[in-house]
Amino acid sequence: MRTELSSDHEAQQNNYMENKLQGILAAIVDMHSFKINDQEVSPEVSYFMEHPNLHEKGVICHFPLDSIANGNHMLEIVKSQQQKDCSEGCYTKTFSLPFRKL
């Protein structure tokens, strides 16, 4: 009986943490907008990762590339930074990453 309660509690706790992490991941992705060649795109898949060399934490996003031609392209990521009160200033930070589809 005690073992069953313990494993049930552990499963509920794992489920709670997984849901919490998915909510955090969704909020992080929602704070960004993504464009490929000036066309809005949304990541198909996103997940947390840790760089194996420097152990920096980050997010990996996979984008659909079926509809773009082979060749050189530009991924633009715009991160919204909001203060509590936008009258004090809201700003964005833009990153442009060139890539080639083969």
Task: Domain ranges for the chain, please list them.
Answer: 1-30, 32-101
Query: Cα–Cα distances in Å, from 26 out to 22, 35, 83, 85, 99?
Result: 6, 18, 20, 23, 25
Does the pTM surpass 0.75? The reply is no
DSSP 44: S
Rounded Cα gap, residues 4 and 8, in angstroms = 6
Distant-in-sequence, close-in-space partners of 52: CB < 8 Å, separation ≥ 6: none
pLDDT of residue 92: 83
Find the mean pLDDT for residues 7-33: 88
Name the token pair of 21.
């992490």
pLDDT in tens, 32-73: 999 999 999 999 999 999 999 899 999 999 999 999 999 999
Measured CA angle at 41 (ends 31, 70), to 5 deg: 140
